[in-house]
């Protein structure tokens, strides 16, 4: 149900602050109460720009024109600062999804979990059993730095959302997507957010091409300062030199098209039944002369840009002409406000918990103050009654109760009773003190030796299991395929280079597997997580419906061999099954399966991203290109105990002989 309170969506960009104020209206629409754009005096990324001062000035100007004190506020953060990972989950009960996602986030996020703020969103297409989850994370220090500007301006957000997800929320709600697969392209100052989306799911990637790249192209071509080139870019559509400006920016157009094609290729490889129909450009950079035509010609797709918000109505005093002019650039802010009204498809929130609690506390402070006052009055009445009763009980002379120093004295008081010369209150205190003395003595005797016993058992267990890791590593090491000939015999980098120069063959024919990383994790139940393998997996030895404690081993590898799955299965995984099931290990390898596989450099996917150093493209030892090498992950279930031998039926005649 949509919130009836007005909500501001604030998108603090590198060029300007953009904001939209919405309120829920009738007929499933929203009412646009206000919108505002505050241009920075300089682009925040310019070398001579004071970022903190420029942001503070923009927020001050925004607050001078708009009253936000009674409204909810949702703030956006840049897409390039947000980590987005997408994966499919096995069919599980809904109550187990958070636990599985938490485990998956720990694997996918390349930072310590205490260093990031993260949340997730699940997607499921209608009629499809697969459940897809998007995991979104941002380093805690970056969020704190971003929100510090709002805190200094006394703006307290109720939610924080990354730019690409805000654009997706706006596109879904306003019907921009339709039924077809659409590319949403938000060109910022430094980066471009690409969102390939349907009404039920999306995939996002940020590429390092933005408006500044177009400006720098003009700087080089026309020998202008950055500020003059930026002004020329913004007025290019009406300039008499529009053709020359387009030619100067053409190389950047080509790079953007290449990134779009790479992203489309990766998405098509993981979503084979979808077809991308159009591109929707949001942001002012989409107005660059020639960009729309260039994209249509090179992508063979329709390119559009929103000029209005179809499911909205304008409140009195809101200029429709200004909104039409700014609609494309206000899409992220519009999506942020929709989430604040509980109308967003994506509901994940990157607001740090401590800030969220602080906001809730401030709103409930008056209520808590009244409740605290009532509590003080009630406590005062209880204390007054207690003091009155104690005073009445202690009135008159009273013989003090004797102290109980030993267990023998305590036993004597309990068995024979306290002295008859004591008052009733003193006799009761004596019995109570004696009982406590005996209780403490019993606890000391009961717990005696427990700590020493636990330490001894722990040491015995450690000594019994300390060789597990070494034996697991040895079994994995023995299973790694070794190429025949000089390459397999090489023990140094120089020997390997010499072997390759001496006729080592093509790289994609070498029977080599490189282990990049090996992780081990104990799980109380190995059967609780089952991933979809790329190759058939033999049935587990143990009952899949029972809890099975053990170690989950994740081996991240690369291989140049062209046969990929077949080569890895026949040479590496089969060897893992053999070497991990030998007698006397104390454990055995149960399920061995291929969790995922991808080229070492995949456009927009895992592996080496576009911003990595060029050195990552080459083998550091052989100096050969590794862009076609295959990265894959093998999961192994390590079960304590010996591998169960198969029972063999023997005929009586064969067994007994003649």
Report how far apart, in Å, the C-alpha atoms of 291 and of each of 86, 167, 279, 281 are.
Answer: 30, 20, 12, 10
For β-strands 16-24 and 514-523, DSSP reports them as unpaired
Report how far apart, in Å, the C-alpha atoms of 648 and of each of 368, 645, 651, 654, 655 are.
Answer: 74, 9, 10, 13, 12
Asked whether the beta carbons of 186 and 332 are under 8 A apart, the reply is yes
**Of residues 354, 339, 357, 35, the one with CA closest to residue 161:** 339
What does the alpha-carbon distance between residue 169 and residue 347 come to, in Å, rounded to a whole number? 9
Asked whether the beta carbons of 74 and 339 are under 8 A apart, the reply is yes
Report the pLDDT averaged over residues 338-345.
Answer: 93
What residues does each domain of the chain span?
1-176+312-351, 187-305, 398-448, 465-640
| pLDDT per residue as tens digits for the range 135-158 | 999 999 999 999 999 999 999 999
CA atoms within 13 A on the CB side of 523: 21
In this structure, is the dihedral angle defined by the CA atoms of residues 42, 43, 47 and 50, taken in order, positive or negative? positive
Q: Which residues contact 635 (CB under 8 A, 6 or more apart)?
A: 531, 552, 553, 554, 555, 591, 592, 593, 594, 595
What does the alpha-carbon distance between residue 24 and residue 43 come to, in Å, rounded to a whole number? 34
pLDDT at 478 exceeding the cut of 80: yes
What does the alpha-carbon distance between residue 331 and residue 284 come to, in Å, rounded to a whole number? 11
What percentage of the chain has pLDDT greater than the value 70?
82
pLDDT at 189 exceeding the cut of 70: yes
Architecture of domain 1-176+312-351: 2-Layer Sandwich (3.30)
Which of 433-442, 462-471, 480-489, 641-650 is most confident? Answer: 480-489
Encoded tokens for 309: 């918000």
pTM of the model: 0.58
Report the pLDDT averaged over residues 427-442.
Answer: 82
pLDDT for 608 = 36
What does the alpha-carbon distance between residue 174 and residue 154 come to, in Å, rounded to a whole number? 31
The three-state DSSP-derived secondary structure of 488-522 is HHCCCHHHHHHHHHCCCCCHHHCCCCEEEEEEEEE
**Of residues 134, 40, 144, the one with CA closest to residue 87:** 134
Sheet strands side by side (includes 16-24) = 159-162, 72-77, 7-12, 16-24, 30-39, 312-314
pLDDT for 457 = 61
| Mean of pLDDT over the chain | 82
From 20-24, 150-154, 387-391, 477-481, the region with the lowest mean pLDDT: 387-391
Give alpha helix (H) positions in 329-406. Answer: 331-340, 353-394
pLDDT for 604 = 37
Compute φ and ψ for 550, nearest 5 degrees. Answer: 175, -170
Position of tokens 């591109």? 279
What does the alpha-carbon distance between residue 403 and residue 95 come to, in Å, rounded to a whole number? 57
| pLDDT per residue as tens digits for the range 223-259 | 888 888 888 888 887 778 888 888 898 899 999 999 9
What does the alpha-carbon distance between residue 548 and residue 526 come to, in Å, rounded to a whole number? 5
When pLDDT is cut at 50, 70 and 90, the band that residue 470 belongs to is confident
For β-strands 312-314 and 30-39, DSSP reports them as parallel
* % helix, strand, coil for the chain, step of 5: 45, 20, 35
Report the pLDDT averaged over residues 46-67.
Answer: 91
pLDDT for 49 = 85
| CATH (one of 1.10.10.10, 3.10.28.10, 3.30.420.40, 3.30.70.20) for 187-305 | 3.30.420.40
Sheet strands side by side (includes 192-197) = 202-207, 192-197, 181-187, 276-282, 302-304
What does the alpha-carbon distance between residue 555 and residue 592 come to, in Å, rounded to a whole number? 11
pLDDT at 164 exceeding the cut of 90: yes
Asked whether the beta carbons of 74 and 333 are under 8 A apart, the reply is no
| pLDDT per residue as tens digits for the range 520-546 | 888 888 877 766 777 777 777 666 667
Residue 45 burial (CB count, 10 A): 16
pLDDT at 554 exceeding the cut of 70: yes
| pLDDT per residue as tens digits for the range 580-624 | 999 888 899 988 888 765 544 333 333 333 334 454 678 878 888
What does the alpha-carbon distance between residue 642 and residue 589 come to, in Å, rounded to a whole number? 10
pLDDT at 474 exceeding the cut of 60: yes
């Amino acid at each position: 149900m949509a919130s009836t309170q007005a909500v501001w969506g604030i998108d603090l960009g590198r060029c300007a602050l953009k904001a939209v104020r919405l309120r829920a209206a009738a007929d499933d629409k929203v009412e646009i109460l206000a919108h505002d754009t505050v241009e920075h005096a300089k682009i925040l990324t310019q070398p001579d720009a004071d970022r903190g001062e420029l942001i503070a000035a923009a927020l001050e100007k925004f607050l001078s024109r708009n009253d936000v004190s009674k409204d909810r506020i949702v703030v956006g953060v840049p897409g390039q600062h947000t980590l987005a990972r997408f994966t499919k989950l096995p069919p599980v009960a809904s109550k187990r999804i958070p636990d599985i996602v938490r485990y998956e986030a720990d694997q996918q996020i390349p930072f310590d979990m205490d260093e990031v703020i993260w949340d997730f969103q699940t997607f499921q297409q209608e009629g499809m059993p697969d459940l897809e989850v998007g995991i979104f994370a941002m380093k805690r220090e970056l969020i704190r730095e971003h929100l510090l500007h709002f805190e200094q301006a006394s703006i307290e957000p109720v939610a924080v959302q990354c730019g690409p997800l805000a654009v997706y929320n706006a596109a879904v709600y306003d019907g921009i997507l339709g039924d077809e697969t659409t590319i949403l392209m938000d060109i910022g100052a430094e980066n471009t957010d690409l969102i390939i989306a349907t009404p039920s799911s999306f995939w996002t990637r940020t590429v390092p091409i933005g408006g500044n790249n177009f400006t720098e192209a003009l700087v080089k071509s026309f020998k202008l300062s950055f500020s003059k080139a930026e002004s020329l870019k913004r007025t290019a559509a009406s300039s008499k030199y529009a053709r020359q400006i387009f030619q100067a920016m053409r190389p950047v157009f080509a790079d953007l098209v290449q990134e779009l094609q790479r992203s489309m290729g990766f998405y098509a490889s993981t979503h084979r039944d979808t077809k991308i129909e159009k591109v929707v450009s949001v942001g002012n950079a989409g107005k660059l002369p020639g960009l729309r035509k260039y994209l249509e010609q090179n992508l063979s797709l329709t390119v559009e840009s929103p000029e209005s918000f179809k499911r909205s109505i304008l409140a009195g005093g809101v200029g429709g002409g200004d909104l039409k002019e700014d609609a494309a650039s206000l899409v992220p802010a519009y999506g942020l406000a929709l989430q604040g009204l509980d109308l967003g498809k994506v509901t994940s929130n990157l607001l740090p918990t401590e800030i969220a609690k602080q906001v809730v506390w401030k709103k409930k402070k008056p209520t808590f103050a009244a409740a605290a006052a009532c509590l003080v009055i009630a406590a005062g009445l209880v204390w007054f009654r207690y003091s009155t009763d104690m005073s009445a009980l202690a009135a008159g002379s009273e013989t003090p109760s004797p102290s109980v120093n030993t267990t023998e004295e305590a036993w004597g008081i309990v068995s024979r009773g306290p002295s008859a010369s004591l008052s009733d209150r003193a006799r009761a205190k004596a019995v109570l003190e004696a009982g406590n003395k005996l209780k403490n003595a019993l606890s000391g005797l009961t717990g005696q030796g427990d700590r020493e016993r636990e330490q001894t058992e722990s040491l015995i267990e450690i000594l019994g299991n300390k060789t597990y890791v070494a034996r697991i590593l040895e079994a994995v090491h023995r299973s790694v395929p070794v190429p025949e000939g000089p390459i397999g015999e090489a023990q140094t980098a120089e020997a390997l280079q010499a072997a390759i120069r001496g006729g080592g063959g093509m790289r994609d024919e070498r029977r080599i597997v490189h282990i990049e990383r090996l992780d081990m994790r104990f799980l109380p139940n190995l059967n609780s997580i089952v991933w979809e393998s790329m190759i058939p997996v033999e049935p587990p030895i143990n009952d899949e419906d029972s809890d099975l404690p053990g170690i989950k081993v994740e081996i991240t590898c690369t291989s140049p061999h062209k046969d990929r799955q077949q080569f890895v299965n026949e040479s590496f995984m089969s060897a893992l099954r053999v070497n991990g099931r030998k007698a006397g290990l104390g454990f055995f390898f149960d399920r061995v399966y291929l969790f995922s596989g991808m080229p070492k450099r995949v456009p927009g996917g895992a592996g080496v991203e576009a911003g990595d150093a060029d050195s990552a493209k080459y083998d550091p030892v052989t100096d050969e290109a590794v862009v076609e090498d295959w990265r894959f992950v093998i999961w192994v279930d390590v079960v304590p105990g010996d591998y169960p031998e198969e029972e063999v039926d023997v005929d009586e005649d064969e067994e007994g002989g003649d």
